[in-house]
Amino acid sequence: MFSTLEGLLAWVISGGGAGVLAYVFIDHMPVEIPNSKLKRLVAFVVTAALAILAYAGTVAAGYAPECVTAVCWAEEIVQVLCLAFGLGQGIHGVRDLPASKE
């Protein structure tokens, strides 16, 4: 599916991969999450962790330039989180939630 580590990390960060992986993780947890609000919160936390780790991996591997100021780091992390949450929730809505009846 991915020919390089860089491609995999890019998918996790900006292709919705963090959100998809978060819901796969939640679906295979040994414990049942009692309600949908808690499940969404867990999904956000797992998505954030995966996206930030993938971003850190891209910087460590030299695929993305390293920020030199705290403001730059904050902007990059917010951007990564917004992409991961938005795309992850969009993909989850299309794939996993029932279609609304017209």
Give which of 11, 2, 1, 9 is closest to 63, Cα–Cα. Answer: 9
Compute the radius of gyration of the chain from its Cα atoms.
15
Q: Give the model confidence (pLDDT) of 56-100 as tens digits.
A: 999 999 999 999 999 999 999 999 988 888 877 777 677 666 655
27 to 33, 39, 43, 60, 77: CA distances (angstroms): 9, 10, 10, 30, 26
Q: Give the model confidence (pLDDT) of 20-64 as tens digits.
A: 888 888 888 888 888 888 888 888 889 999 999 999 999 999 999
The Cα–Cα gap between 4 and 13 comes to 14
**Both tokens assigned to 61:** 């591997």
The domain segmentation of the chain, as residue ranges, is 5-95
Per the confidence metrics, is the pTM higher than 0.85? no
